[in-house]
Amino acid sequence: MLFLFKYRFLQTIREFSIMFWALGFPIILGTLFYFSFGTSIEAAGETEWDEIKTAVVTEDSSSENAKSFEIFLENMDGELLEITRVSSGDEALKLLNEDKVTGIYYVKEAPSLTVGKNGLDESILTSALDSFNQNSAMVRDVLSEHPDRLPAVLASYGDYRQSVREETLGGKTLNPNVQYFFALIAYACLSGVFLGVRASFDTQANLTALGARRSVTPTHRFKLVIVDMLVLVTIHFADILILNLYVTQILKISLGDDIFSLLVVDLMGSIIGVCMGLAFGSISKMDLGMKMGFSVGLTLFPGFLSGLMFGNMKNIIELHCPLINRINPAAVLSDAFYCLGIYNDMERFRRCILILAFMSILLLFSAFLGVRRDSYDSI
């Protein structure tokens, strides 16, 4: 067993072209991603809201409610809002139509808001007005029914603190571009296909001299498949760890703080990639060049579906045909990285690992059947 392991290991690491696709190309692709996204990656965790440009028209400030609304807007000016005071509604509407402001607040007994379209900023302006109206109604009710409690209510408003901030469930703020690096590592894991195809090619007696020698040995073919898988998984797991270190230490992209779970994902990703290669190489009777060509598709197409080229692709598939994301190993791997770095959802994480384990067993069994059924009239 150790003899088989040693020589398969030496043979594999000497295949420089195969090692390039398994390790070198993902590192190059990750570097290109990093420089393409520029400083937006470095700003991960530093999400800042731009102030919302808002026009304010004072129609009637004589009432107490209007005066309170004026104070309310002044407190938000420079924090949430960038307020422009205008003298008339026509002037404010002109600014709104020219997209110089997002909305118009009208100061009067019953404050109102005008917006030009639907969007996040418009929703924030609406929520701010709704919050003021609710608080004003509450103060009026307290004043009319329990005036003695009014100082306590006003004190609670004065002690207001922001209690919500944008964070992921894992404690790391999400930069949207990080999803490309999750898909990249998933793609790199599937690049174990190249290692598996090359190893399976060397077991076919009609194609290589090494395959002929291995076919006449008394060693059980299942044992040969297991040894090949262990060697290739060991090598590819080391490749993925190197890629992880490059992404986290050189490019400074966070993959989460749970190192053990991250290692589990990397290991399962290495296993599924190698098993795909062993199964495809054992079942297919094409020559090595054709197999390698198809292997490119076996890695890139699942990578595309998981968001490697178009970041929102996995979400689109989840919306219209979620089954594809369940059987696409790249999407399952990417989802596992999301669970660690963003969702912190260990139940979903365990589901991803079980799916990968089940796929690996099926692929490994297929590889064994492909090798087992081979027979030759003469070698």
- Predicted confidence at residue 161, as pLDDT, reads 45
Rg (CA), the chain: 30
- Predicted confidence at residue 142, as pLDDT, reads 58
List pLDDT tens digits, range 102-133: 999 998 888 889 988 777 788 888 888 888 78
List pLDDT tens digits, range 177-211: 778 888 899 999 999 888 888 877 766 555 555 55
Q: Residue-wise over 106-132: b if at least 16 C-beta within 10 A, else e? A: bbbeebeebbeeeeebbebbeebbeeb
- Predicted confidence at residue 45, as pLDDT, reads 45
105 backbone dihedrals φ, ψ, rounded to 5°: -95, 135
pTM over 0.85: no
Q: Locate 184 and state its tokens.
A: 């990249």
Written as tens digits, the pLDDT of the chain (379 aa) is 666 667 667 767 777 777 887 888 889 988 888 887 755 555 444 445 578 889 999 888 888 788 888 888 888 887 778 888 988 888 989 898 888 899 999 988 888 899 887 777 888 888 888 887 877 777 666 556 666 654 554 455 444 444 444 444 454 545 667 788 888 999 999 998 888 888 777 665 555 555 555 555 555 566 766 777 788 889 999 999 999 999 888 988 878 778 899 999 999 999 999 889 888 877 777 777 787 888 888 888 998 888 888 777 888 888 888 899 889 999 999 888 888 877 677 888 899 999 999 999 998 888 777 666 555 444 4
Rounded-to-integer distance, Cα 156 and Cα 150, Å: 10
List of residues 6+ apart from 303 with CB closer than 8 A: 183, 186, 187, 190, 309, 330
Which contiguous run of DSSP H or E holds residue 89? helix 89-97
Rounded-to-integer distance, Cα 279 and Cα 292, Å: 13
Domains and CATH numbers, the chain: 2-43+172-372 (no CATH), 52-158 (3.40.190)
If one counts every other C-beta atom within 10 angstroms of the C-beta of residue 10, the result is 10
Which contiguous run of DSSP H or E holds residue 228? helix 221-245
- Predicted confidence at residue 306, as pLDDT, reads 87
Q: In this structure, is the dihedral angle defined by the CA atoms of residues 267, 16, 25 and 273, taken in order, positive or negative? A: negative
Among 221, 184, 246, CA closest to 365: 221
Amino acid in position 93: L
Determine how β-strand 81-86 pairs with β-strand 52-58.
Answer: parallel
Distances (CA, A) of 227 to 7, 236, 253, 282: 10, 14, 35, 15
**DSSP codes of every residue in 264-295:** HHHHHHHHHHHHHHHHHHHH--S-HHHHHHHH
Q: Locate 225 and state its tokens.
A: 């498949």
